[in-house]
C-alpha cells in the first residue's frame, strides 16, 4: 500500500488535501493530538480516495467505526467468526456490493480485481475476495487458491496495458507489515527497469550462514508445519466421520 506506516502518512499530510465528493479536508490541520484510532483512520483515508465512474459526485465514506481500520486483532477475529460475511463499514465490502466506486478490472464468483486508488506504479491493482476475512491466516485456503489462480491472467493483462515486463506480488499481512485495510487483499504492482520503487532494492543483503542458528530456525519452522499438517488431517478425518 502507498501509506504503510503512520510516519509515511504524516510526511505526506504536510502537502496533501484529500477530496471525497464535494468535501475536502486539509491534513495539515489534522495531524496533532490525535488518538490512536483517529490516526489509523487517517491512514485509511489517505489510501482510499474513491474513483467515481459516473457523473455524480463520489459518496462520502463513513470511516468513523470501520472494522477494517481497527488495530485490535481480537476485533478482527470476531468479525472473521462470521464466516466471511460482508461487513457494513468495510470499504472493500462496499466495493463488492457496488456501494463504493472503483475501477473493476476482473470479477468472478470468488474475487474481484480493482485499480488501487493510491498506486505505487501505473496499473497497481488489488485482488480482493468477495467475502470478508481480516487477514491471510483467517482466509480459507480455497479462497486464497482462487485469488492466486487469477494472478497469471490478471498480471499479464496489466503488464501489457502498462508496458511493464515485471511485477511484484505483495501481501501486507498484519499491522507491523503495513496492513491498513483489514480485508485480505493481494497487490499486483507493475515494474519497469530502474524505476527505483523499493528502497530495499539498493540495500546489500546478508548471506545466509549455514550455522547452528539457521539450523534451529529451520527446525522450528519444520516442526510447526508438521504439527499443523497433523492437526489438519485430524480435523478432516473427524469431518468425514461425522458425515
Predicted pLDDT of residue 50: 41
Residue (of 134, 135, 113) closest to 124 by Cα position: 113
Predicted pLDDT of residue 237: 77
Q: Is residue 110 part of a domain?
A: yes
State how far the Cα of 184 lies from the Cα of 68, in Å rounded to an integer. 10
Q: How many structural domains does the chain have? A: 1
From first to last of the 243 residues of the chain, give the pLDDT tens digit: 344 444 444 444 444 444 444 444 444 444 433 444 454 445 444 444 444 444 343 333 333 233 455 444 444 443 444 456 788 889 999 999 999 999 999 999 999 999 999 999 999 999 999 999 999 999 999 999 999 999 999 999 999 999 999 999 999 999 999 999 999 999 999 999 989 888 777 778 889 999 999 999 999 999 999 998 888 788 777 777 776
Q: Is residue 237 part of a domain?
A: no
Predicted pLDDT of residue 223: 95
The crossing angle, in degrees rounded to 10, of helices 141-149 and 151-162 is 30
Structural domain for 23, as ranges: 6-201
Report which secondary-structure segment, H or E, holds 26: strand 23-26
Q: Is residue 133 part of a domain?
A: yes
Predicted pLDDT of residue 108: 96
- Burial of 90 by CB count in 10 Å (0-12 exposed, 13-18 middle, 19+ buried)? buried
Q: Is residue 82 part of a domain?
A: yes
Q: Is residue 98 part of a domain?
A: yes
Decide if 105 contacts 128 (C-beta within 8 A).
Answer: no
- Measured in Å, how far apart are the chain's first and last C-alpha atoms? 43
State how far the Cα of 238 lies from the Cα of 181, in Å rounded to an integer. 35
Q: Is residue 222 part of a domain?
A: no
Q: Is residue 21 part of a domain?
A: yes
Q: Is residue 213 part of a domain?
A: no
Residue positions annotated with a catalytic role = 185
Strand partners, 26: 17
pTM above 0.85, yes or no: no
Predicted pLDDT of residue 29: 43
Predicted pLDDT of residue 68: 59
State how far the Cα of 38 lies from the Cα of 188, in Å rounded to an integer. 29
The upper half-sphere exposure of residue 237, i.e. CA atoms within 13 Å in the direction of its Cβ, equals 6
- Residue 179, domain CATH: 3.30.428.10
Predicted pLDDT of residue 120: 95
Amino acid at each position: 500500500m502507498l501509506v504503510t506506516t503512520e510516519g509515511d502518512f504524516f510526511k505526506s499530510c504536510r502537502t496533501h488535501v484529500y477530496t471525497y465528493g464535494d468535501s475536502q479536508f486539509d491534513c495539515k490541520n489534522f495531524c496533532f493530538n490525535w488518538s490512536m484510532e483517529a490516526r489509523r483512520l487517517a491512514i485509511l483515508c489517505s489510501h482510499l480516495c474513491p474513483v467515481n465512474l459516473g457523473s455524480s459526485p463520489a459518496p462520502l465514506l463513513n470511516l468513523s467505526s470501520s472494522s477494517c481500520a481497527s488495530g485490535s486483532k481480537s476485533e478482527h477475529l470476531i468479525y472473521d467468526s462470521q464466516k466471511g460475511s460482508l461487513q457494513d463499514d468495510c470499504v472493500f465490502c462496499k466495493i463488492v456490493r457496488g456501494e463504493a466506486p472503483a475501477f473493476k478490472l476482473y470479477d468472478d464468483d470468488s474475487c474481484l480485481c480493482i485499480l488501487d486508488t493510491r498506486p505505487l506504479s501505473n496499473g497497481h491493482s488489488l485482488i480482493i475476495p468477495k467475502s470478508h476475512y481480516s487477514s491471510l491466516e483467517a482466509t480459507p485456503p480455497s479462497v486464497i487458491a482462487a485469488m492466486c489462480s487469477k494472478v497469471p491472467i490478471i498480471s499479464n493483462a496489466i503488464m501489457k496495458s502498462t508496458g511493464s515486463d515485471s511485477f511484484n506480488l505483495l501481501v501486507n499481512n498484519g499491522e507491523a507489515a503495513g496492513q491498513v485495510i483489514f480485508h485480505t487483499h493481494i497487490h499486483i504492482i507493475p515494474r519497469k527497469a530502474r524505476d527505483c520503487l523499493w528502497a530495499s532494492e539498493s540495500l546489500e543483503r546478508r548471506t545466509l550462514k549455514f550455522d547452528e542458528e539457521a539450523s534451529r530456525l529451520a527446525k522450528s519452522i519444520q516442526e510447526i508445519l508438521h504439527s499443523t499438517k497433523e492437526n489438519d488431517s485430524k480435523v478432516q478425518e473427524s469431518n468425514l466421520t461425522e458425515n
